[in-house]
């Protein structure tokens, strides 16, 4: 009866186990149990890994050859058995099985031997270089618009947990876990209270890594301005010097003002720290008519109501 060894037991030629048979034939000395080696010894997620099934015939014969098979979770790896003692993985991930073994078969006598199972833990690349960017850029956003906080990492593998914080003391706004090197958090409608410092953190199992603080200023669009002429109740007289005052009661500075007479620009002024702006006008007969002003702080102009100026003393 031809016999070959499988995991220390003896298998009959009809591929069935022979219980009670403990006869160790020359296969024990023909070649030793194979040893499964891994390179690198501590494979890193996303990088290549090579398995090598190592054994050697004790007596060299020209016609002796080996076939090698690699297994994990009870399944063949690669394309099946081959004459190569190596199996390469272009990229290994932590979701792959951790326990591997190999089989070496001497092809003339059909003697098979298995290596011991080898556990190969895959190392994860820790998070590094966390940064927080904003959209829109520039460190400011208009009230009522959308602010996007983008947390990114330069290097990491696996699922990454992202966390966003408001304020230097860190009030948590949102937490997301995803398999990507960046994640976004949106404040859909910014309010004035959202003017703060922000930062984010990223963690893939080695502890959170923090970004730098990013300051956000919230700009308020201008309200509809109000146009007035000098002191209330004073009558405009030919030859007088009249102050046109335009003021938007709400809006982040600087605010740019323009003054119009019958749709023609009279002049402009800016208020760098808030408040209104004025334009002085020496009254002539041509100055009668309709006036208005505009206020703008970069989010679109707002126009005042039309005010009619009637000048007395015109003959």
Answer whether residue 315 is part of any domain: no
Q: Does 9 share its domain with 115?
A: yes
* Domain-embedded: residue 298: yes
* 170 and 255 fall within a common domain: no
CATH of the domain at 140: 2.60.40.10
314 located within any domain: no
Based on the fold, state whether residues 71 and 30 are members of the same structural domain. yes
Identify whether residues 111 and 33 lie together within a single domain: yes
More confident residue, 129 or 300: 129
Indicate if 162 and 91 belong to the same structural domain.
no
Asked whether residue 83 is assigned to any structural domain, the reply reads: yes
pLDDT digits (tens, 9 = 90+) for 81-112: 999 999 999 999 888 788 999 999 998 888 99
- The whole-angstrom separation of Cα 205 and Cα 97 is 19
In a domain? residue 38: yes
Q: Indicate if 189 and 254 belong to the same structural domain.
A: no
- Domain boundary residue among 163, 184, 219? 219
Per-residue exposure over 229-239, b if at least 16 CB sit within 10 Å of its own CB, e if not = ebeeeeebeee
pLDDT tens, 266-280? 999 999 887 899 999
- Lookup: tokens for 74: 């009870």
- pLDDT surpassing 50 at residue 304: yes
Query: Could you give the number of structural domains in the chain?
Result: 3
For range 297-305, the mean pLDDT: 91
- For residue 194, the model assigns a pLDDT of 95
pTM of the model: 0.65
**pLDDT tens profile 171-187:** 999 999 999 999 999 99
**pLDDT score of 55 more than 70:** yes
Is the predicted pLDDT of residue 5 greater than 60, yes or no? Answer: no
Q: Does the pLDDT of residue 290 top 50, yes or no? A: yes
pLDDT band per the 50, 70, 90 thresholds, residue 29? low
Among 93, 119, 145, the domain boundary falls at 119
Among 171, 204, 219, the domain-final residue is 219
Q: Are the C-beta atoms of 76 and 69 separated by less than 8 Å? A: yes
Cβ-contact 85, 53 below 8 angstroms = yes
Same domain assignment for residues 109 and 18: yes
User: What is the C-alpha to C-alpha distance for residues 118 and 99, in angstroms, rounded to an integer?
Assistant: 5
Indicate whether 13 pLDDT > 60: no
b or e along 144-165 (b: 16 or more beta carbons within 10 Å of the residue's beta carbon)? eeebebbbbbeebbbebbbbbb
Looking at the structure, do residues 187 and 249 belong to the same domain, yes or no?
no
Domain that holds residue 214: 128-219
Higher pLDDT, 272 or 204: 204
The answer on 113 and 78 residing in a single domain is yes
Do 143 and 202 reside in the same domain of the chain? Answer: yes
């Amino acid at each position: 009866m031809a016999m070959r060894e499988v995991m220390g037991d003896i298998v009959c030629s009809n591929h069935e186990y022979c219980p009670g048979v403990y006869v160790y034939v020359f296969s024990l000395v023909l070649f030793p149990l194979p040893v499964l080696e891994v390179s690198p010894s501590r494979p890193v997620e996303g990088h290549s890994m090579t398995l090598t099934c190592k054994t050697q015939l004790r007596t060299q014969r020209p016609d002796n050859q080996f076939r090698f098979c690699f297994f994990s979770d009870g399944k063949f790896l690669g394309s099946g058995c081959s004459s190569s003692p190596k199996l390469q993985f272009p990229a290994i991930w932590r979701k792959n099985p951790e326990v591997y073994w190999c089989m070496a078969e001497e092809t003339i006598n059909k003697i098979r031997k298995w290596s011991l199972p080898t556990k190969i833990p895959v190392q994860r690349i820790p998070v590094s270089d966390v940064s927080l960017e904003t959209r829109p850029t520039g460190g400011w956003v208009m009230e009522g618009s959308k602010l996007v906080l983008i947390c990114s990492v330069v290097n990491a593998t696996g699922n990454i947990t992202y966390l966003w914080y408001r304020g230097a003391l860190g009030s948590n706004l949102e937490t997301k876990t995803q398999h990507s090197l960046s994640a976004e958090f949106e404040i859909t409608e910014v309010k004035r209270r959202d003017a703060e410092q922000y930062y984010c953190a990223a963690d893939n199992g080695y502890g959170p890594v923090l970004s730098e603080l990013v300051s956000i200023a919230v700009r308020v669009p201008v309200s509809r301005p109000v146009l007035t002429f000098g002191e209330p109740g004073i009558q405009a007289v030919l030859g007088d010097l009249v102050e046109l005052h335009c003021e938007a009661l709400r809006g982040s500075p600087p605010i740019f003002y323009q003054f119009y007479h019958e749709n023609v620009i009279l002049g402009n002024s800016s208020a760098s720290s808030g408040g209104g702006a004025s334009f002085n006008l020496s009254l002539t007969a041509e100055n009668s008519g309709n006036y208005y002003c505009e206020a703008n702080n970069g989010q679109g102009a707002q126009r005042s109501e039309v005010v009619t100026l009637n000048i007395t003393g015109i003959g």
